Homo-oligomer: A and B are copies of this chain.
Amino acid sequence: MDRLAVIGLLAGPVTTSGFVPQVIKGYRSGSMSDVSLFMPLLFMVGMILWLIYGVFLGDLPVVLWNGMAIILSSVLMALKVRSARQKRKGAEPRVTR
């Protein structure tokens, strides 16, 4: 395998791995206030297009790493929605009397 093929095969997993520390951070802290929902949302739409492209070309690495990244993006979106809900709940006026 030549050097270029190795670079191509490494690019997918390294890029996809970028979601992991954010998922861990969001899961542990429970707070995603500083994270925009549109980031994982747009990533996801783009990667669904890559996935379709990869399926039609029969390009396994493109399908595999985009598929993984789509799952991780949806986890980020779920964490963001959970965080926003909890924040809203906390901001509700409380009956203190």
Contact = CB atoms under 8 A, between A and B. Distances in A.
A32 interface: yes
Q: How many copies does the complex hold?
A: 2
A34 B35 contact: yes
Most buried by B among A18, A20, A22, A26: A18
A interface: dominant SS? helix
Interface residues of A, number: 43
A52 B3 CA distance: 11
Interface in A23-58: 24-26, 29, 31-43, 45-47, 49-50, 52-53, 56-57
A42 B24 contact: no
19 contacts: A7-B49, A7-B52, A7-B53, A8-B49, A8-B53, A11-B46, A13-B46, A14-B45, A14-B49, A15-B43, A15-B46, A18-B42, A18-B43, A21-B37, A21-B38, A22-B39, A24-B36, A25-B35, A33-B34
